[in-house]
Amino acid sequence: MFNYLAKKFNLVRLLRKQSTQNANGKKQSGLKISPHLKQNLETLKKTFKESNDFVIREFSFGSKEEPINVALVYIEGLVAKTSINDDIMKPLMYDSSFAGFINTYQPNDIIAFIDERLLSMADSIKVSNLEEVVEGCLDGHTILLVEGETQALSISNQGWERRSISEPQGEVVVRGPREGFTETLRINTSLLRRKIHNPDLVLEMLKVGQKTRTNVCIAYIAGIADDGVVQEVKNRIEDIKTDAILESGYIEQFIEDAPFSPFATIGNSEKPDVVAAKLLEGRVAILVDGSPVVLTVPFLFIEGFQSAEDYYSRPYYSSLVRILRYMGFLFSLYGPGFFVAVVAFHQELIPDALIITISSAMEGTPFPVALEAIGMGIVFEILREAGVRLPKAVGQSVSIVGALVLGDAVVSAGFVSSTMVIVVAFTAIASFVVTSHSDAESIIRFVMTLLGSALGLFGITIGTIGILIHLSALRSFGSPYLSPLAPISWLDLKDTFLRFPLWAMITRPKTIGWNNYQRESLDLIPKPPQKKKDK
């Protein structure tokens, strides 16, 4: 056993050493741009392995006596070709102001002259090594290389196809903004800027993934977000050494606090207004290029029961709906398990009339009540997965046919009692009330059913205590997962079970935004206008 662990330890140490050497080798292998244009182009061709979407456009400009040879390199499909023609090539080829400059230029003066006098592009930077040239091409930039120059010009003119802004399918609201994030990172950051018109909103860029080089943006509000949390987010993301980051879910699994817990310790949303509200409370957002799902940390257990629409409506109905969410969550966890425990062990808790009805419905069924509950739970999970994966029109038909026809068929055939179908159906409906904890609900529901079938209500009690102990031990980037319930924070209870009026939410959550705890004035309660005194 110890030899096996020692071998594993040595293997991990060797892999870390190799990755460090590779990283250091990459940092030291940045080739400077050569003054010979042909040499630079040959190196780039070898780097991109003669790929047919890597385009090199060579031409010359200036006087006929002393033409200047240049080349534009870019990746087709990532740049806007009309911008290359109108804003780069035409000014170079037809602008006469360059003719008098040719005979007097110094090294690297041509690049500066082109950047400052000829190009009509808003965003361009000078680069001095080929690694930056390659990275610029992969980011959708057009690179201008000039014969005799040891610098190049990286021109930002991205032009790939983008999905338009639309309403997120998983966070539909009756009242509130309909816009959602897209797969383009710069569009997502602009949506946040539209919500928060403040220079304190900081957006920091990182590149993650040794092969994909995915752009990752860390967003927070300086002065509200805790500096320690911001630095911890940066450290965890920078420590990710992997080939590919294709979606924000990759980042989530690499930086979460409790990877073996069924409960998520990192929040996510596709709505800019939701992410903006979390930033204003002191959280940190993580945006990943290519993903419309934005991560937010720290994430608390009670956030799963909060909806954006709660804050756009008046507090009375919002509080009622929130209480219903808690009730639906509890029934989703305990419904089948409690039913199995009561029917199998604690029949004295059921009224006589109801126990007669349940007994008559279960008469003739060949399976124990526990096996019925587990079997119907598995069938429901299969139907839900099929409804999600199939095309929308077909998926809805499968869900409806499966729920109605299959349910009626198993009852008519005598495989499952009608009472069990009712319990499982209501549990399925309740599981959709709190989508943030749906993964944990599905797992815990089966565990509670097994405990209820084995030990009755005593087993469910043991399971509940275990869940509470586990939740109390969880942390999300330093914040207690059950806050403000454990540890108790009386000021933060105003947005837990009930949603207090907005004018009463004077402070930010204590465990998240206590650096700048007050977010509104103390006297915002609406008051009727004072009557004017009669003269």
How confident is the model over 1-42, as pLDDT tens digits?
Answer: 434 444 444 544 545 544 444 444 444 346 888 888 999 999
> Can you give the pTM of this predicted structure?
0.84
pLDDT digits (tens, 9 = 90+) for 313-356: 899 999 999 999 999 999 999 999 999 999 888 888 888 888 88
CB 500 within 8 A of CB 494: yes
Give the β-pairing of 152-156 and 214-221.
unpaired
CA atoms within 13 Å, Cβ hemisphere of 346 = 17
DSSP assignment of 299-333, as one string? --GGGGG--GGGGTS-HHHHHHHHHHHHHHHHHHH
Tokens of 12: 């991990």
User: Cβ distance 305 to 434 under 8 Å?
Assistant: yes
How many Å apart are CA 192 and CA 201, to the nearest integer? 9
Nearest to 84 by CA among 146, 160, 134, 155: 155
Distance of alpha carbon 130 from alpha carbon 39, whole angstroms: 11
DSSP assignment, residue 120?
-
pLDDT in tens, the chain (535 residues): 434 444 444 544 545 544 444 444 444 346 888 888 999 999 999 888 888 889 999 888 776 667 788 899 999 988 888 888 888 888 877 765 555 555 555 556 778 878 877 787 778 888 989 988 998 998 889 999 988 888 899 998 888 777 888 888 888 888 889 999 999 999 999 999 999 999 999 999 999 999 999 999 999 999 899 899 999 999 999 999 999 999 999 999 999 999 999 999 999 999 999 999 999 999 999 999 999 999 999 999 999 999 988 999 899 999 999 999 999 999 999 999 999 999 888 888 888 888 888 888 777 778 888 888 898 888 888 878 877 777 766 666 666 666 667 777 777 777 888 888 888 888 888 888 888 898 899 899 999 999 999 999 999 999 999 999 999 999 999 899 999 998 888 888 888 999 999 888 888 888 886 678 888 888 888 888 876 665 5
218 phi and psi, to 5 degrees?
A: -105, 120
Tell me the residue type at 335: G
For the chain, which residues make up each domain, given as ranges?
Answer: 37-156, 185-299, 315-473
141 class by beta-carbon count within 10 Å (0-12 exposed, 13-18 middle, 19+ buried): buried
What Å distances lie between residue 191 and 55, 72, 281, 292, 299, CA to CA? 33, 32, 18, 12, 22
Token pair 């709190």: residue: 434
In 3D space, the residue among 135, 83, 93 whose CA is nearest the CA of residue 114 turns out to be 93
CB of 251 closer than 8 Å to CB of 245: yes
Burial of residue 501, with CB atoms counted within 10 A of its CB: 0-12 exposed, 13-18 middle, 19 or more buried: middle
Long-range contacts (CB closer than 8 Å, 24 or more residues apart) made by 3-7: none
Q: What distances in angstroms separate CA 88 from CA 118, 154, 244, 292, 330, one per listed residue?
A: 8, 12, 34, 32, 63
* Distance in angstroms (rounded) separating the CA atoms of residues 330 and 230: 34
Torsion 204-207-209-212 (CA) sign: positive
Return d(Cα 148, Cα 257) in angstroms, integer: 53
Cα Rg of the chain (Å, integer): 31
Name the residue among 32, 193, 221, 212 with its Cα closest to residue 108.
Answer: 32
DSSP 3-state of 502: helix
Cα distance between residue 428 and residue 422, in whole Å: 10
Residues 434 and 432: their CA atoms lie apart, in Å, by 6
Q: In degrees, to the nearest 5, what angle opens at C-alpha 382 toward C-alphas 378 and 386?
A: 170
Q: Give Cβ neighbours of residue 114 (< 8 Å, ≥ 6 apart).
A: 92, 144, 146, 153
Contacts of 195 (CB under 8 A, 6+ apart): 272, 273, 276
